[in-house]
Amino acid sequence: MWSSSVQLGSELSIAGISAKDLAKEFGTPTFFIDEADFRARALAWNEALQAAFGDKAGTVYYASKAFTCTEVGRWIKDLGIGIDVSTGGEMAVALAAGIDPKKIEVHGNNKSVAEIEKAISVGVETIVIDSMYEIERVAAAAAKAGKVQRVLLRLTPGIQAHTHESISTAHEDVKFGFSISSGAAWTAITAVHGHSSLELRGFHAHIGSQIFGFESFEILAERFVAFLAKYRDEFKKELPELDLGGGYGIAYLESEETVDPFEAMKVLATAVKKHCAAFNLQIPKVSIEPGRAIVGPTMFTLYEVGTVKDVTLENGSHRRYISVDGGMSDNIRPSLYGAEYTTIIANRTSSAKKVSSRLVGKHCETGDIIIREIDLPEDIVPGDLLAVPATGAYGRSMASNYNHVPRPSVVAVKDGKARVIVRRESIEDLLALDI
C-alpha cells in the first residue's frame, strides 16, 4: 500500500523527507513518487517472468496508461524492460525518453492512420491489432513503408474476471479484440495471412484490472494454448508469442494484499507449460503488461485540509465531512469505479477519538468523494496534511481540469532528495489554449 521508503512515525516521511517539508516546498495537492520503489517493483516483475519462463520469457511491457512521463520513461529505458502505449501521445513520451522502439508495443482499439504510420516509421517491433479495419490499415502502412510489420491479434477469450465491470475487458460484450467463440478471431487470422506486409507472431489478451485471484489467468492460458494448437493444426506451423496482459491487483486498504509477482508468474508458467504439453506444442515466448502493479504503490497524494463540517443524517447519526484541496480532478477512480482508499494524518500524530468521516474534494459535485466512509481523528482541522497511499495508477494519468483546477505536480523522491518531474499546471496554462 505504501512504498518502501515511506515511514509512518510522528509524521509521514518518504526517503527521509517529512511531509511538512514536502508540502512547504512543493505545495498541495501533489503526487509523490518513490523512484527506488518504482525501479524495484519493475525489476521484480521482470525477474519473476525470467524465473518462471526461462528462455521462453518474453518482455515485461510497462503499461504506460497507468502513469507516464518522460522521466519515468527514462527509468524504463535504464531498466531494460519494454513499454506498452495505446495512443500517439503515449508513444511520443516513450520516444522522447529514448526508449528503443523495439521495446515499444503499440496498443489501442482505435489507432489512427497517423499513429500507425508513426509506429511503423520509427521501427516499433510489435503492433497489437484490434479490428478488421486495423488489419487493413497496418498492412497498407507497412506496405507503403516497404516493411513487414510484426503483429499480435488481440483476442477476447470470453473470461469474466472478478473485478469491477468497467475494468473487466475480456468477456464477450466489450469493445476490445476478436472473439474466439464467435469465430471473429479466426476470420482475423485469415485476413492477416492475406497480407505479405504483415507477420503474425501470436495472440494478446488483457482480461481486466485489479485482479487478485489467479483462476482467470489459468483459464486464459488454457484457452490461448488451445487456440495456438488449432492454428498449428490448420497452418502446419506454430506461432511463437503470447502476450497475456496485466491486471495484477495491489492493496489499497489494510485488509488487502498486493499480488506477488513471483507467485503470479509461477502460476501462469505452470498453466502454460501444462497445456502446451497436453497439445504437444512448443512453449511460446510469454510477455506481460503490469502497470498498476508497478507504479500504483510507489506514489501517494498529499492534500491539505481546507474545511471540516459536521452533518446530521436522517437517522440522527452524524458524519464529518473533511474537504481537501484536490478531489475528483486528481483521483476520479472513486467516482468512476467506486474505488476505495484510505488516508492518514501526515503532519502529526493524534490520539483523539475517531469519528465517522467522509473525505471529499473541492469540486461542485456531490459525487466528489475520495473516501466514502472512514473513521478519522476528530481533531483534524484546516491546515492538516492528509496522505492517500497507492495513487500511482490512474490518478495523475486520469486527472482533469474540472472546475478549471490546474492538475497537480508529480515529485520524485530518492535518497533524501526530491525533484519535480511533472510540473504543476498554472492558471496561465489553462488560459493558454483559449483563442
Residue identified by cell 506477488 is: 260
Q: Which of the residues 364, 431, 433, 435 is marked catalytic? A: 364
Rounded to 5°, the CA angle 262-265-267 comes to 110
Q: What is the pLDDT of residue 172?
A: 56
CATH number of 107-290: 3.20.20.10
Q: What is the CATH number of domain 6-33+297-432?
A: 2.40.37.10
* The residue type at 190: T
pLDDT of residue 216: 85
Burial class (CB in 10 A: 0-12, 13-18, 19+), 88: middle
Residue 364 known to be catalytic? yes
pLDDT of 63 reads 97
Reported as type and span, the H/E element at residue 121 is helix 113-122
To the nearest 10°, report the CA torsion of 272, 273, 278, 283.
90
Distance of alpha carbon 92 from alpha carbon 87, whole angstroms:
9
Strand blocks (E) in 140-182:
149-156, 178-179
User: What is residue 394's predicted lDDT score, i.e. its pLDDT?
Assistant: 97
Say which DSSP state 144 is in: H
Task: Give the 3-state secondary structure of residue 58.
Answer: strand
The pLDDT score that the predictor gives to residue 159 is 72
d(CA 411, CA 71) in angstroms, rounded, equals: 11
* Number of other CB atoms surrounding residue 194 within 10 Å: 11
- Rounded to whole angstroms, the Cα distance separating 141 from 197 reads 9
pLDDT per residue, tens digit, the chain (435 aa), is: 999 999 999 999 999 999 999 999 999 999 999 999 999 999 999 999 999 999 999 999 999 999 999 999 999 999 999 999 999 999 999 999 999 999 999 999 999 999 999 999 999 999 999 999 999 999 999 999 999 999 999 999 877 544 444 434 444 567 889 999 899 999 999 999 999 999 999 999 988 888 888 888 889 999 999 999 999 999 999 999 999 999 999 999 999 999 999 999 999 999 999 999 999 999 999 999 999 999 999 999 999 999 999 999 889 888 999 999 999 999 999 999 899 999 999 999 999 999 999 999 999 999 999 999 999 999 999 999 999 999 999 999 999 999 999 999 999 999 999 999 999 999 999 999 999
Q: How open is the CA angle 53-243-148, to the nearest 5 degrees? A: 115
Do residues 103 and 82 make contact, with C-beta atoms less than 8 angstroms apart? yes
Radius of gyration in angstroms for the set of CA atoms belonging to the chain, rounded to a whole number: 23
Indicate where the chain has its CATH 3.20.20.10 domain(s): 107-290
What integer pLDDT is reported at residue 160 of this predicted model?
54
- Model confidence, pTM: 0.94
H-helix segments, 146-214: 184-193
What pLDDT score was predicted for residue 165? 45
Separate counts of helices (H) and strands (E) for the chain: 12, 21
Strands (E), 35-187: 57-63, 82-85, 104-106, 126-129, 149-156, 178-179
Specify the domain boundaries for CATH 2.40.37.10 within the chain: 6-33+297-432
Q: Is 61 helix (H, G, I), strand (E, B) or coil?
A: strand
Contact 253, 229 (CB under 8 A): no
**Grid cell at residue 307:** 474545511
